[in-house]
A and B are shown apart, each in its own frame.
Chain A
Amino acid sequence: MIDQLRQRARELLETGQAAVVIGYGERAGDGRPVPLFVTQPAETARLVFTPACVDNLARYLTRKDVQALGRPALVATPPTIKAVAVLVQENQLAADGLVLIGVCCEAPGTAGTACALLAGATLAELEAEVAGRLRGQELTEAALARVAALEAQSADERWAFWEAEFARCIRCYACRQACPLCYCEQCIVEKNQPQWVPSSPHPLGNTLFHFYRAFHLAGRCVLCDACAEACPMDIPLGLLNRKLAREVRDNFAYEAGYDHTAPPAMASYRSSDQEAFIR
């Protein structure tokens, strides 16, 4: 599989279809998978793909310094493909502005499981493939078990739970920086006229920051967990994301990342949307 991947990357660079391949490499010394930017065909031999390669590399597509390298080819796992779909849907990327090298493995994160290239070449084809693999598998009862457990608690218990979780936040913004969909030129936490979110890592600032972060991703989050993986304080950001993704699905019959031509959930409406909560 890895030979196919390297071959594909080499061809793309040699034929000029891509100026840079964004994929995974290994850190010197201990082999930890790290993002790798390959611009020379000979360097494609450094590309790897293993079940440990779970970073969402779509993060780099909207970065100006990466865009300056030229047309990218992206080694894209299923969640990465979903993120690309949302970026295209939101007009941050042109679907034909990049090449996708779809990859997947049976059980991401589990060493030793089989890895393969995806067959599709276009975003639409890859979306369909990813939908076949993931749709219906992400917001299952099992995946939502912790969400449901929290929902079963009282409001005060939930507040106490999040108060303790948010208290650890040091506002390093690793969650935001790792998120492929946090591409705002200026994040709301950096706006100070007025100061919507205090920049201080204290209870209020942290609570508001996490409310904003979660809400800005509602209907957009592709559930890749890049934020939660990046968090050095192990704040369970995936819980917030999954809760809102489930609400979007249940209320608007919408799941992000499967159709880059669809209107985004939070930027569209149906006159028939339910409104039982409105008095």
Chain B
Amino acid sequence: MASENIYLPYLMTVERVLDETHDVRTLHLRFQDPAAAEAFSFRAGQFGEYSVFGAGECTFCIANPPTRNGHIECTFRKAGRVTKALRDLEEGDTCGFRGPYGNTFPIADWRGKNLLFIAGGIALPPMRCLIWNCLDLREDYRDVTIVYGARTVGDLVYKQELAEWDARPDVRLLQTVDPGGETPDWKGDIGFVPTVLEKAAPASENTIAIVCGPPIMLKFTFPVLDKLGFARSNVYTTMENRMKCGLGKCGRCNIGEIYVCKDGPVFTAEQVGRMPAEY
């Protein structure tokens, strides 16, 4: 950015609007300034501040992989004032984007290993960036397993991509919905993510697990991974505390001495275990 104003967003054009579920939507955003698009790069795990002028900013991970750069995708659930305004955007409208911020998944270090992705509900979007990133570099990794759960079948996001991953011989996809959330023709599992994970019992040998979900899911999933023999240093997650600046200034996302926006959002379960219980 030419300006030294670190709070000044890039102007983005909404290029495409995709409904994932009744309340989850994906936006494809293109940089209005070609030079900015050219200069922009990011890595899996990073996040940004998305804004609707007049409504404010909110924080999400970048949902598309860096291997498919040049634009930004974000997937969000309509929950508050800004996400409602984002949802009201139509193709051709302008919004703002600041980023990329935060640290990244160390995917280069994972070469030659098995990857186990575990996500719940609206937490698949931050994982999707990473999954595609790794699938686009498929030969670098060995077995790829994805465990994804949502409250109901209707709440599963990226249905088309789930089908795509399901169809791939080099990906094992386990889908589950909470009890009561199934439909008559539901083919996947029924049960909470930690339960399904424990039942599937993926091998921990030479495997990196990446877990993404609400705080409560993390609290139940880590012990299952312990039981399966994963070292906590081989388990990664991305934290989501309330954030405003994304720049390590506003003091909101802190967990103990950690700035989630600067030191994270990517942490190992080992690091999370050392944090005070304030997430």
Residues of A whose CB lies within 8 Å of any CB of B are 192-193, 195
Residues of chain B with a CB closer than 8 A to A195's CB: 81
Chain B interface extent, by class: under 10
Q: Please give the distance in Å from B266's CB to the nearest CB on chain A.
A: 30
- Tell me how many residue pairs across A and B have CB atoms closer than 8 Å: 6
Residue B113 CB within 8 A of the other chain: no
Smallest CB separation, B102 vs chain A (Å): 26
**Which residues of A are found within 8 Å of B84, using beta-carbon distances?**
193
For window 26-43 of B, CB contacts with A under 8 Å fall at none
For the complex formed, measure the closest distance between the CB of B23 and the CB atoms of chain A, giving whole angstroms.
Answer: 15
Residues of B within 8 A of A (CB): 80-81, 84
Q: How far is the CB of A147 from chain B (nearest CB, A)?
A: 38
Inside 8 A of A192's CB, which chain B residues have their CB?
80-81
Give Cα distance in the complex from A193 to B81, angstroms.
6
User: Which chain B positions have C-beta within 8 A of A193?
Assistant: 80-81, 84
Taking the closest CB of chain A, its distance from the CB of B207, in whole angstroms, is: 44
6 A/B residue pairs, CB under 8 Å, sorted by A: A192-B80, A192-B81, A193-B80, A193-B81, A193-B84, A195-B81
Question: Which B-chain residue is minimally distant from A195 (CB atoms)?
Answer: B81
Query: A193 vs B84: C-alpha distance in the bound complex, in angstroms?
Result: 10
A residues in contact with B81, CB < 8 Å: 192-193, 195
B82's nearest neighbour on chain A, judged by CB, is A192
Q: How far, in angstroms, from A192 to B85 measured CA to CA in the complex?
A: 12
Complex Cα gap A195–B81 (Å): 9
Tell me the complex Cα distance, A192–B81, Å.
Answer: 7
Considering only CB atoms, which chain B residue lies closest to A192 in the complex? B81
- How far is it, in angstroms, between the C-alpha of A195 and the C-alpha of B80 when the chains are bound? 12
Smallest CB gap from A191: residue in B: B81
Give bound CA distance, A192 to B80, whole Å: 9
Chain A residues with CB under 8 A of B80: 192-193
Query: How far in angstroms is the closest Cβ of chain B from A219?
Result: 32
Q: How far is the CB of B114 from chain A (nearest CB, A)?
A: 45
Shortest C-beta distance, A205 to chain B (Å), equals 15
In the bound complex, what is the Cα–Cα distance between A124 and B80 (angstroms)? Answer: 45
Considering the complex, give the chain A residue whose CB is closest to the CB of B56.
Answer: A192
In the complex formed, the residue of A with least CB distance to B81 is A192
What is the CA–CA distance of A121 and B2 in the complex, to the nearest angstrom? 71
Please give the distance in Å from B95's CB to the nearest CB on chain A. Answer: 18
User: Closest CB of chain A to B77's CB: distance in Å?
Assistant: 15
Bound complex: CA of A192 vs CA of B84, how far in Å? 11
Alpha-carbon separation in the docked complex, A193 to B80 (Å): 8
Q: What CA separation (Å) do A136 and B81 show in the bound complex?
A: 47
Measured CB to CB, the closest approach of chain B to A191, in angstroms, equals 10
Q: Bound state CA distance, A193 and B56, in angstroms?
A: 12
